[in-house]
Amino acid sequence: MSGESAGSTVASAPVTDELDGSPLLADVLGDALPKLEIFHDKLMREGEPRGLIGPRDVAIVWERHILNSAAVVPFIRETTRNERYKTVADIGSGGGFPGLVAAACLPDHRFTLIEPMERRVEWLDECVREMGLKNVEVVRARSEEIIARIRKRDGLYPFAVATCRAVAPMTKLSGWTLPLLKSHGRLVALKGRSAQAEIDKAAKEIAKRGGVRPRVVEAEVGPGLEPTHVVLVDKR
Ligand SMILES: C[S@@+](CC[C@H](N)C(=O)[O-])C[C@H]1O[C@@H](n2cnc3c(N)ncnc32)[C@H](O)[C@@H]1O
């Protein structure tokens, strides 16, 4: 006799992450690691069934989502170095990328996660509570609504930094992010390989919204891991 009988089921092994237990995590994430382990654990259990990550991402949550998001941290730090109010708006946070990860890494910064979809807002609220993050506010809104409130001085002030990943092309994104920023603030957008072409195409929209020096930089994700691309735009 060989193999399984017809109709029998084979229990699949629980999926583990390729970087589980790697010393690289503590090297890159430092003191934020315990909070991000809670986030990682929740993503592994609930991320795919709740539609926050793709089925093929489950074995690479650390690299594709958490370490990739953490790549924005040095750019935020550099921008807020001399700022009294270290405020960051993360647009279209979805499952929490990059906003929740950056907030765990920068406890001395105040993060506002701006996300219009109700079930994603519920997820973000749960994560903030379970991770014990004290520096995060989740707002259910589109970015344009927050921009309108800032313009009307309706209890909101311009931010030092705006972050985002996978929200829209730069032609649209410049209008959804640059008006959120104070003078000398900075947009830090995680982008794919088409980043340069996107900023070339959006040159007019960027300038119209007071954006200057749009550029693409390569950002470290971790030793031995493929770097990612970040678009930086300064606000005049
Ligand atoms: C493709 S998801 C990316 C989510 C997350 N940033 C990531 O990298 O996994 C895009 C997110 O942007 C949000 N979004 C779309 N339009 C938006 C707007 N005008 N303002 C703020 N968020 C928006 C969507 O609800 C969605 O959660």
Average pLDDT over residues 122-139: 98
In a domain, 111, yes or no: yes
Q: Which domain holds residue 155?
A: 70-235
Query: Pocket of ligand 1, candidates 121, 167, 177: which has the most ligand atoms within 8 Å of its Cβ, to mutate?
Result: 167
Average pLDDT over residues 134-155: 96
Q: Which two tokens stand for residue 157?
A: 């002030």
In a domain, 39, yes or no: no
| Closest Cα to atom 7 of ligand 1 | 97
Cα of 146 vs centre of ligand 1, distance in Å, is 14
| Closest Cα to atom 10 of ligand 1 | 167
Q: Measuring from each residue's beta carbon to the nearest atom of ligand 1, which residues come in under 6 Å?
A: 91-95, 97, 114-117, 120, 142-144, 165-167, 176
- Domain count of the fold of the chain: 1
Q: Which two tokens stand for residue 187?
A: 């947009």
| Closest Cα to atom 24 of ligand 1 | 92
Q: What is the ipTM of this complex?
A: 0.99
The strand pairing partners of 187, in sequence order, are 162, 233
In a domain, 187, yes or no: yes
CATH number of residue 197's parent domain: 3.40.50.150
In a domain, 206, yes or no: yes
C-alpha pair distances (Å), 191 with each of 1, 132, 163: 54, 29, 11
Please write the tens of the pLDDT for every residue from 217-226: 999 999 999 9
In a domain, 84, yes or no: yes
Q: Tell me how far apart the terminal alpha carbons of the chain are, to the nearest angstrom.
A: 75
Please write the tens of the pLDDT for every residue from 7-35: 555 666 678 999 999 999 999 999 999 99
Atom number in ligand 1 closest to CA 90: 6
The average confidence (pLDDT) of the chain is 94
In a domain, 173, yes or no: yes
Atom number in ligand 1 closest to CA 116: 25
Please write the tens of the pLDDT for every residue from 68-103: 999 999 999 999 999 999 999 999 999 999 999 999
Phi, psi dihedrals of residue 30, rounded to the nearest 5°: 55, -130
- pLDDT confidence of residue 13: 62
Distance CA 228, CA 208 (A): 27
In a domain, 7, yes or no: no
Non-local CB neighbours of 50 within 8 Å, separated by 6+ positions: 119, 123
Q: Which residues are annotated as a binding site?
A: 92, 97, 143-144, 165
